A = this chain, B = another copy of it.
Amino acid sequence: MEAATEFPNKEAFRQAVVNTLERRLFYIPSFKIYRGVAGLYDYGPPGCAVKSNVLAFWRQHFVLEENMLEVDCPCVTPEVVLKASGHVDKFTDLMVKDEKTGTCYRADHLLKDFCKDKLEKDTNLAAEKIAELKHILAVLDDLSPEELGAKIKEYGITAPDTKNPLSAPYPFNLMFQTSIGPSGLSPGYMRPETAQGIFVNFKDLYYYNGNKLPFAAAQIGQAFRNEVSNPSRITIWLFAFQDGHVWLLMSVEVVVFLLLLISVFEVTFTLSRKKEYGLNMKGKLQISPRQGLLRVREFTLAEIEHFVDPDDKSHPKFSEVAKLEFLMFPREDQVSGKSARRIAIGEAVSQGIVNNATLGFFIGRVYLFLTHLGIDKERLRFRQHLANEMAHYAADCWDAEIECSYGWIECVGIADRSAYDLRAHTKLVIAPVKKELGLAFKGNQKMVVEALEAMEEKEAMEMKATLESKGEAEFRVCTLGKDVIIKKNMVTISKETKKEHQRVFTPSVIEPSFGIGRIIYCLYEHSFYTRASKDGDEQLNVFRFPPLVAPIKCTVFPLVQNQKYEEVAKRIAKSLTAAGISCKIDITGTSIGKRYARTDELGVPLAITVDSTSSVTIRERDSKQQIRVSIEEVASVVKEVTDGLSTWGDVLWKYPTHSS
């Protein structure tokens, strides 16, 4: 396989990849005829085929091989579910508003930009100040709204576009909100993850599995996050006083077109014409260098929830992956400034670097999944979460990170989430003991019972703790207008749990969660290379997709325009289609070299050229080697290679090579 041609820098390489992807319609910015919506992309025909191949392989590799229970739940989710899961209260970014224009910014981004800028550009900073700014950058994620607001005030940070003062930080929920039904009284959200659909079905799935642990459920589907894009901006102002010509020369369309051509930047354009001053025009161009195709508002998630006994996290198939060795980046190594290193997953588990064998098993399976797709082993690492990145309830968490031109990107999260998720959806059971309450409160019993039953979860769990530690608790009964003393024997408070062999527990959840779009984007970068054309005048683009991933498995073209050859080509295409192999006929009169180049740019692994009515040539994309095969055999040879039963090397041995 040829090495990728050198590019001057990462950005130039990314540009080449993204240009090819957009030109060949792997991606299309959504609704672009209406100027698009930031953070929404369509998959065009080849992109859609790649996605569908990746998902089919995910199903085979995880659901089928591991006998998982796949479910498919709606995206519209009632508020009560996401309230219980914590998303309504905590799935937020802290925002500040430009107090005059109302433009919103992420508070942490503004503070981060300020600190970085200061550290880079201000050479006169005192050592003390440098330490302070560095400290802020380190603890940025842990700052409370008040602390963030205080720092923004202290440093005099203003709105980047207008220099106007900013509001105090306030939480903005990242979920898309909607309303279910015509009354407007049932709030709902578009799910921010697919996992909750599995958790709320836990009982049914547990029953379906014969009331046995462990088992895994899986779901593939859309998730939605109303991301705030708030990067540093480039602002261009166009003025045209009393004269339409500047405006016409420098039309929006031209500017936008040029910028799109040279960048993947998101472009928004606002134009205000102050008619009262005649043709006084003002154009404002904002370029937001988002992480392009990586940070989107709607995306496909594939999630697994593996439910396991918290006291036994072994895995029967762990030995199958234990010897796999790959780049791991444990917490301690990150803290002590070391680099990622190759560790066998079996070692990592036995040394306690990875918390348990089930977690280790999934790390191994994820490694196999990604490398089979064509992700480069050397640019894939498993990074353990630092203590401050992890939720307080999590036992351990590793991200599969893939290196691309944007740096190391989190593509799969593999977390041992302990019992948190199931507990969140577990029913609170408050059982007042009527007899004891009757003895204690006589005629007031009913009011006390009602008040006890009406407790919210937080209050109830506090009472439970107090009763357990002190034996009694003070309790306000509003309908009586006074406090009463509740004793331990007057009420039982509990959350439902599983009973298995008389042992009562809530299962732990181990959750591998795959960002399918991110994996696919990284795959594009890892598969892309350029090589000189035959005459050497141009660089041609190639995607070296494995057949598993390739959007089209095979192209068929007659060497020259000729009815006989065209008929043979159509017959071959028909037999390929019948065998379930996606193929494309190209009967244009373009030179064979150009047609090869076109098909290489889509990552098509094999090309069949019809140059006789009895046999044809098959050319492999990366080696450009060709073999000659009879027309009767061609479909089965192609199927063997694209189904992965034989490699190109294998078939090279069997058939005569052809030199063009």
Contact = CB atoms under 8 A, between A and B. Distances in A.
A501 to B, nearest CB: 17
A647 interface: no
A141 interface: no
B208 A25 contact: yes
B31 A48 contact: no
Contacts of A56: 56
A623 interface: no
B81 A31 contact: yes
A244 interface: yes
Given A74-B42, A81-B31, A275 B479 contact: yes
Given A78-B31, A183-B104, A577 B64 contact: yes
A444 to B, nearest CB: 12
Contact of A75 (B38, B180, B208, B222): B222
A149 interface: no
A45 B30 contact: no
A298 interface: yes
A539 interface: no
A450 interface: yes
B298 A75 contact: yes
Interface in A261-289: 273, 275, 278-279
A396 to B, nearest CB: 28
A315 B98 CA distance: 59
Contacts of A176: 76, 178-180, 188
A80 interface: yes
B72 A47 contact: yes
A603 to B, nearest CB: 15
B226 A180 contact: yes
B64 A42 contact: no
A475 to B, nearest CB: 17
Given A102-B183, A178-B176, A279-B446, A42 B210 contact: no
Nearest to A69: B45
A70 interface: yes
Contacts of A380: none
B70 A182 contact: no
A48 B25 contact: no
A200 B33 contact: yes
A74 B298 contact: yes
A40 interface: yes
A80 B275 contact: no
Interface in A200-258: 200-201, 203-205, 208, 210, 217, 222, 224, 226, 228-229, 244
Interface in A16-35: 25, 28, 30-34
A588 interface: yes
A359 interface: no
B95 A72 contact: no
Contacts of A76: 37, 40, 176, 190, 224, 297-298
A272 to B, nearest CB: 13
Interface in A80-129: 80-81, 84, 95, 102-104
Given A76-B224, A224-B76, A275-B479, A190 B178 contact: yes
A295 to B, nearest CB: 13
Contact of A73 (B34, B42, B51, B244): B42
A178 B177 contact: yes
A244 to B, nearest CB: 7
Nearest to A175: B178
A197 interface: yes
Interface in A379-424: none
B48 A70 contact: yes
Contacts of A244: 446
A200 B32 CA distance: 8
A52 interface: yes
B580 A60 contact: yes
A371 interface: no
Contacts of A326: none
A604 B30 CA distance: 41
A197 B42 contact: yes
Contacts of A34: 78, 80-81, 84, 200
A518 to B, nearest CB: 16
Contacts of A190: 75-76, 178, 190
CB-based closest 3 A-B pairs? A43-B72, A45-B69, A104-B182
Given A37-B186, A41-B74, A222-B222, 15 more contacts: A31-B81, A34-B80, A34-B200, A37-B76, A42-B72, A48-B70, A52-B59, A52-B70, A74-B298, A76-B224, A76-B298, A180-B297, A181-B228, A182-B226, A273-B450
16 contacts: A31-B80, A38-B181, A40-B76, A42-B71, A42-B201, A44-B69, A44-B204, A45-B205, A48-B70, A52-B70, A56-B56, A95-B182, A176-B180, A181-B226, A190-B190, A279-B446
